[in-house]
Amino acid sequence: MHNLAQLFDGVPTSIISDSMRRIAGSRTLVPRHASGGVVGTAYTVKVRSGDNLYIHDALRKARPGQILVVDGEGHKERALVGEIMMQVARMRGLAGFIIYGAIRDSAAFKEHNFPCYSCWVTHQGPLKNGPGEHNVPVAIDNCVVSPGDIVVGDADGVVFVPQEKAQEIAASSRKKMQAEANVLAGIADGIYDDAWIDAALKNQLV
């Protein structure tokens, strides 16, 4: 795993989202694997709706540990990846798929627990005519993802962290994790400081 990506190992997407002002990340990508998450760097692919030729090519070019981040324009009528492509990705050491579009063979993703997030599932297969692009900025559910950006996925969804902000966001996320751990420890001991609610309600009256 890339050193910057390692900074986010074990950090929940909810914490990262909070550290990015709660306006970052996808709202429609759903995990299709059985459990666990994924952390890595993005190998971006742009394809025409319903066409996966350039995803096949990306499977030959992406490096082990990278995550294929595919802008399929949110198309839901044709699946862009399935079991065969998943098995190729596993064989070549890729960390997972982020598909802004549809997949198929969803049971196989669960059986092998290969990290995959998509908007849709459909049985209908793709075209293989192109065109497409690799290693360019892509739009994933209104998020701009550049090659090499950090991708973090878990049961709650997916967030993307720009490379240049990775250290800053990782540090603030770790700090927030510790703060939340302290709150939860207090609750376990029967203590919860909710004075902030009064201040927030007072501001509503101003």
Residue 156: helix, strand or coil by DSSP? Answer: coil
Residue 184: helix, strand or coil by DSSP? Answer: helix
pTM score, two decimals?
Answer: 0.93
Residue 119: helix, strand or coil by DSSP? Answer: strand
Could you tell me the residue ranges of all domains in the chain?
3-169
Contact 122, 77 (CB under 8 A): yes
Two tokens, residue 16:
């990262």
3-169: CATH topology is Glucose Oxidase; domain 1 (3.50.30)
Q: What is the pLDDT along the chain (206 residues), one digit of tens a residue?
A: 468 999 999 999 999 999 999 988 899 999 999 999 999 999 999 999 999 999 999 999 999 999 999 999 999 999 999 999 999 999 999 999 999 999 999 999 999 999 999 999 999 999 999 999 999 999 999 899 999 999 999 999 999 999 999 999 999 999 999 999 999 999 999 999 999 999 899 888 65
Contact 44, 62 (CB under 8 A): no
C-alpha distances in Å from residue 62, one per residue of 72, 88, 180: 18, 12, 37
